[in-house]
Amino acid sequence: MGPATPSGAAELVGRWVSSRNNLSPEGWHQGSLTFTIDGRFTSENRTYGLYASQQRDELSAFTRVEGEYRIERDHLIFEPQRLVWWDHFYGARSAEHVEEPYPWGGLFDDARYTVRDDHFTMSFTVYPADAPVPAVAEYERDR
CB of 69 closer than 8 Å to CB of 51: no
Percent of the chain residues topping a pLDDT of 90: 78
1 vs 94: which has the higher pLDDT: 94
pTM of the model: 0.90
CA nearest 42: which of 13, 20, 22? 13
- Average pLDDT of the chain is 91
Structural domains in the chain, CATH included, are: 9-141 (2.40.128)
Residue 52 has pLDDT above 70, yes or no: yes
| Average pLDDT score over residue span 105-117 | 92
CA nearest 112: which of 68, 67, 66, 72? 72
> For residue 130, what pLDDT is reported?
79
The most confident of 18-32, 80-94, 118-132, by mean pLDDT = 80-94
Rounded Cα–Cα distance for residues 71 and 75 (Å) = 6
